[in-house]
Structure 1
Amino acid sequence: MAWAAKTGAALSNWHEHGFGTLYPIVYAHRDMASAKSEAAFAAKCLGLKPSDCLLDLGCGGGRHLVHLAPRVRYAVGLDFSDVLLALARKDGGHTTLVRGDMRMLPFENAFDAITSFFTSLGYFSREEENERAIAELARALKPGGRFFIDYLNAPHVERTLVPESFRERDGLAIHERRWIDSAARRVNKAVRVTRGADTVGEWRESVRMYTEAEFRALLARNALTVIRAFGGFDGSPLTATQPRMIITGHKEKA
């Protein structure tokens, strides 16, 4: 392949252009079928009630939100991507969709429960901005409100990272290169999508890799108490060999 992905510092604003029309194709394996069981697990962990108000932070195309909304009184999905929010609107349902920045949420003490699926945090190159997103999550929760955060499990990523892959879907060739920046504690990916000899799209992704201890400390600094930690949506305990780091807990009461 003639393409060579740059492996320098992570782009600070990659999230502003990394969730366009090609994103649902590249991540087509994250589908409605898997979301149904994942949402059911989240609902069980959160103890969702028909009287609850829920926010799905970084809702994307709404694949989890559509399954969570019937379980609560009021459901809101927030995302920065107009493209993904348009997909969420097609599914309709009992939801309100908001375009917004997780570092500046338009809510305060508003929700009984907040969900965040598929590593929808840790995007920002400056650590204070990642902490700001957690602080905003806490601010949006009611005192005593519950949270469910599904994040990558750093030890598993370090052990299983595939440096390069190539696949085809819907007539498109998808070329991905992945690497870890150990100094910045970030996992990065360069994506190039082509049709024949033409490049259809090209972008970078970069996410902060937190250890469980780091993530617990980040939450604690923002008055969020951890209750349980899981390694997957099957309820398995969190260990270095599990694919996910799923953290549940609640906001401290005033």
Structure 2
Amino acid sequence: MNTSTDWFASWFDTNFYHILYKNRDHKEARLFMANLVAFLNLKKNDTILDLACGKGRHSLFLNSLGFNVTGADLSENSIKYASQFENETLKFVQHDMRIPFKNKYDAIFNLFTSFGYFENDNEDIQVLNNIKNGLKTSKSIAVIDFLNVQKAVANLVKEETIERDQITFNIKRLLKNGFIIKEIEVVTESEKYTYFERIKYLDLPKIIKYLETVGLTLQYTFGDYDLQKFDVNSSNRLILIISK
């Protein structure tokens, strides 16, 4: 099967992706971001980079809290959609996270498993280096919201079918060559397509090694969107609070 490194460049730019995931719990996501900004003690008008912002829904929410937000995403279609919401303190740019940022920020958020996409470890490390260089000062904070891979693999649903908007999504999951792979067969009335998602199996010790490589410091870990303590066996998320 073809699980190209740049699977995200094609999959995220399709309408099918947004249809499959349109029922995500956005209320929970907004609560998470509200919890984050309170914990981090961010101030009104602080600058935030929402890295891998998708269609900008969470950038919009952060902006509504009084922050100066830039949303960045690789998907041309997502940025085109998000740009309609721009204002003086909310901007959107198309950007590959492997490329250094032009500006520096008080906080950089990489949320909802938008990390670990790349085949080569050096590319993940390059992203972290860009995040480090994109932070204004040693007091600036980065947040990476990743999945708890140990629990995800232990509870892996190998096959399921989802019906949505008269489209059938046949989904298979497996762990292979250090990646959690999701094969998504999309069946419409007249066509059939296959896409992939590939998330690197990054546990906490490996991520810490990544951070040490670029000179970032792990300050806190949390295991859910209520910012409860991370537990490798029970937590759904691995949320990292990082500084340089």
Instruction: Verify same fold: TM over 0.5.
Output: yes
- 1:106 aligns to what SS in structure 2? coil
Which residue number in structure 1 is paired with residue 65 of structure 2?
71
Partner of 2:36 in structure 1?
A: 42
2:175 to 177, 180, 184: 180
Asked if 1:235 corresponds to 2:230, the answer is no
CA 1:148–1:86: 2 relative to 1, 3 Å:
same
Supply the distance in 1 between the matched residues of 2:39 and 2:102 (Cα, whole angstroms): 23
CA distance in 1, matches of 2:29, 2:17: 17
By how many angstroms is 1:26 displaced? 1.1
Q: In the alignment, what sits opposite 1:154?
A: 149
Which consecutive residues of structure 2, in runs of 5 or more, have no partner in the other structure?
none
- Choose the corresponding residue for 1:26, options 20, 26, 29: 20
Identity %: 27
User: Residues 117, 104 of structure 1: CA spacing in aligned structure 2 closer, same or farther, 3 A cutoff?
Assistant: same
Displacement of 1:204 after TM fit?
Answer: 1.0
- Please report the RMSD computed on the Cα atoms of aligned residues, expressed in angstroms: 1.7
1:126 aligns with 2:127: no
What amino acid maps onto 1:245 in structure 2?
L
Cross-structure match for 2:8: 15
State the Cα deviation string for residues 193-224 of structure 1 (Å, max 9, x = none): 1123532x421111111111111221222222
Q: Please, which moves more after superposition, 125-134 or 213-222?
A: 213-222
Q: Which runs of 5+ in 1 are unaligned?
A: 1-5
Give the distance between the partners of 1:228 and 1:37, measured in 2 at CA.
19
- Relative to the length of structure 2, the TM-score reads 0.92
Match for residue 165 of structure 1 among 144, 160, 165: 160
Query: What amino acid is the match of 1:155?
Result: Q
Q: Are the aligned partners of 1:152 and 1:209 in contact in 2 as well (CA < 8 Å)?
A: no
- What do residues 56-94 of structure 1 show as CA deviations (whole Å, max 9, x unaligned)? 010111121111113344210110001222332344454
